[in-house]
């Protein structure tokens, strides 16, 4: 006996089958497109690295991984030595363990030192190459003899620190746009005068600024030089970058991306080997003064104050005075939240951290608030989305007291702590503070 299936049902079944085939095809196409793009990104960076191998007398192309922050899936240009990655077309793929923080950085993992870059990559090729070269410099940084350091520069959140950094960068903008060598030298003299005066205002600031510039500044110079930009494009890139930088909530950890690369690029035009003459002990301020043959004024303070009006100084001072008043309220709120009222302190044992350097808030001599930060340690994984106070010497972090401690997943105001086995949290009845306890 034959069963007759109604025509409408047959059509619906056919449409359903076609739909599922279409969805499967789209997914496969997207996966293939991503894999193909990854190969293109690796190849274009490999080509750029070979073209500029003379920059450091070393090929920057090497072990590199791209990581999707949402899925933790990664793509690598070569295999690891621990067998954690699997072949995937011309590349390799795998999943980054939860204990490793995802960031644009360099990491030791799977038996190799990798440049790590977060997906998606910039759609613009020049920005993409800039980013890959920057992080690849960090990968080879130890081989070149440069220390990995991120010194605190909290003075750059103070009014005068911000004013004279902005003036230095405004002078550098004019140096970039100068029509003659004489004009450029005048602006460079003012830039370095503003810098010298700023560093004279805050104890040890010359050392801490120099440390960050030798780390992030030289890395960004490297990125810019491998970006493929011509002279006109490079000038426009630096000018826009400085203007965008001024919009950042804080300058504390990001200023070096905009100072050292400009000095370096301008100097590279007359000395293509200048960067190979510096070491981890080089004082970049002195180096640039000598390299540009700058005759510094004897009265730094007077010279700096006399040059203010050339670089829109009155408007800068007005803006920074207003910002300081607003910032006092923000600092007071954070001091109350993380210091004066009961809070939760987590001491580090073997810490690894990733954070956004653009929006941090220094709290006098008490440390720095990181609005967004992720920390892994032997005690677990802490993910913060609403602020945490890092101690000045990076030995502990303070967050608000927990709301729920019933499970291994402790939660609070804008934070989650995934506890490792063998750890729990306890409250000190006398102070109201919480702490970690190892069982």
58-62, Cβ contacts within 8 angstroms, sequence gap of 24 or more: 58/140, 58/143, 58/144, 60/133, 60/136, 60/137, 60/139, 60/140, 60/222, 60/226, 61/136, 62/115, 62/136, 62/139, 62/140
pLDDT at 401 over 90: yes
For residue 25, tell me if it sits in a domain: no
Domain count, the chain: 3
Averaged pLDDT score across all residues of the chain: 92
Give the per-residue pLDDT at 409.
96
Same domain, 165 and 208: yes
pTM over 0.95: no
Give 129-160 pLDDT, tens digit per residue: 999 999 999 999 999 999 877 778 999 999 99
CA distance 284 to 267: 12
Give the per-residue pLDDT at 357.
81
Boundary of a domain, candidates 144, 177, 206: 144
CA distance 423 to 417: 11
Give the per-residue pLDDT at 10.
45
Pinpoint the alpha helices (H) of 107-177. 125-144, 159-176
Least confident of 32-41, 109-118, 273-282, 383-392: 32-41
Same domain, 212 and 135: no
For residue 226, tell me if it sits in a domain: yes
Q: How many residues does the chain have?
A: 439
For residue 44, tell me if it sits in a domain: no
Same domain, 286 and 390: no
Residues 90-94, mean pLDDT to the nearest whole number: 95
For residue 246, tell me if it sits in a domain: yes
Total H helices, total E strands in the chain:
11, 18
pLDDT at 355 over 60: yes
Two tokens at 203?
């104890």
pLDDT at 21 over 50: no
pLDDT at 16 over 80: no
Least confident of 101-105, 150-154, 293-297, 347-351: 150-154
Same domain, 174 and 100: no
For residue 13, tell me if it sits in a domain: no
Residues 422-438, mean pLDDT to the nearest whole number: 95
Boundary of a domain, candidates 281, 311, 341: 311
Same domain, 304 and 164: yes
Q: Provide the β-strand partners of residue 16.
A: none
For residue 233, tell me if it sits in a domain: yes
pLDDT at 428 over 60: yes
For residue 95, tell me if it sits in a domain: yes
Same domain, 377 and 252: no
Give the per-residue pLDDT at 12.
46
CA distance 92 to 8: 47
Same domain, 294 and 195: yes
Q: Provide the β-strand partners of residue 436.
A: 425
Band (pLDDT 50/70/90 cuts) for residue 8 is very low
Give the per-residue pLDDT at 148.
79
For residue 322, tell me if it sits in a domain: no
Give the per-residue pLDDT at 119.
97
Least confident of 206-220, 277-291, 351-365: 351-365
Print the domain residue range for 367.
332-438
Give the per-residue pLDDT at 431.
95
Give the per-residue pLDDT at 3.
47
Do 133 and 48 meet the contact criterion of CB atoms below 8 Å apart?
yes
Boundary of a domain, candidates 112, 144, 176: 144
Least confident of 16-30, 63-77, 176-190, 209-223: 16-30
Same domain, 106 and 178: no
Tell me the helix, strand and coil percentages in the chain, rounded to 5: 50, 20, 35
Same domain, 130 and 171: no
Give 220-271 pLDDT, tens digit per residue: 999 999 999 999 999 999 999 999 999 999 999 999 999 999 999 999 999 9
pLDDT at 29 over 50: no
Give 48-85 pLDDT, tens digit per residue: 999 999 999 999 999 999 999 999 999 999 999 999 99
Do 413 and 386 meet the contact criterion of CB atoms below 8 Å apart?
yes
Share of the chain above pLDDT 90, in %: 88
Same domain, 351 and 421: yes
Same domain, 410 and 361: yes
Same domain, 90 and 114: yes
């Amino acid at each position: 006996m034959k069963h007759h299936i109604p025509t409408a049902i047959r059509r619906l079944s056919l449409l359903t089958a076609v739909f599922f085939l279409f969805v499967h095809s789209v997914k496969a196409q997207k996966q293939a497109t991503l894999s193909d793009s990854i190969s293109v990104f690796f190849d274009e960076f490999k080509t750029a690295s070979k073209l500029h191998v003379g920059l450091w007398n070393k090929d920057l192309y090497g072990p590199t991984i791209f990581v999707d922050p949402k899925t933790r899936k990664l793509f690598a240009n070569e295999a690891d030595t621990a067998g954690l990655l699997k072949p995937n077309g011309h590349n390799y793929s795998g999943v980054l363990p939860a204990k490793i923080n995802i960031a644009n950085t360099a990491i030791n993992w799977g038996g190799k030192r990798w440049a790590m870059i977060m997906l998606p990559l910039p759609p613009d090729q020049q920005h993409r190459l800039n980013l890959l070269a920057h992080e690849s410099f960090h990968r080879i940084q130890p081989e070149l003899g440069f220390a990995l350091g991120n010194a605190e520069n909290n003075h750059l959140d103070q009014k005068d620190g911000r004013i004279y950094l902005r003036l230095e960068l405004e002078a550098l903008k004019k140096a970039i746009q100068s029509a003659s060598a004489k004009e450029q030298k005048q602006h460079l003299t003012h830039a370095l005068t503003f810098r010298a005066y700023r560093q004279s205002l805050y104890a040890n600031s010359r050392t801490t600024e120099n440390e960050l510039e030798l780390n992030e500044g030289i890395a960004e110079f490297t990125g810019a030089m491998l970006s493929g930009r011509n002279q006109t494009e490079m000038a426009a890139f630096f000018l826009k970058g400085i203007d965008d930088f001024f919009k950042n909530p804080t300058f504390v950890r990001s200023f070096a991306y905009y100072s050292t690369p400009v000095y370096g690029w301008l100097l590279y035009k007359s000395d293509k080997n200048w960067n190979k003459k510096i070491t981890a002990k080089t004082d970049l301020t002195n180096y640039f003064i000598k390299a540009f043959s700058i005759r510094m004024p004897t009265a730094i303070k007077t010279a700096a104050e006399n040059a203010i009006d050339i670089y829109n100084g009155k408007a800068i001072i007005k803006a920074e005075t207003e910002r300081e008043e607003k910032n006092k309220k923000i600092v007071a709120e954070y001091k109350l939240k993380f210091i004066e009222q009961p809070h939760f302190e987590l001491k580090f044992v073997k810490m690894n951290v990733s954070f956004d350097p653009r929006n941090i808030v220094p709290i006098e001599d008490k440390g720095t608030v990181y609005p967004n930060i992720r920390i892994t340690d032997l005690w677990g994984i802490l993910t913060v989305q609403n602020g945490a106070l890092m101690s000045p010497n990076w030995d502990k972090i303070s967050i608000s007291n927990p709301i729920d401690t019933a499970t291994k997943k402790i939660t609070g105001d804008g934070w989650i702590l995934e506890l490792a086995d063998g750890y729990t949290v306890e409250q000190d009845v006398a102070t109201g503070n919480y702490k970690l306890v190892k069982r």
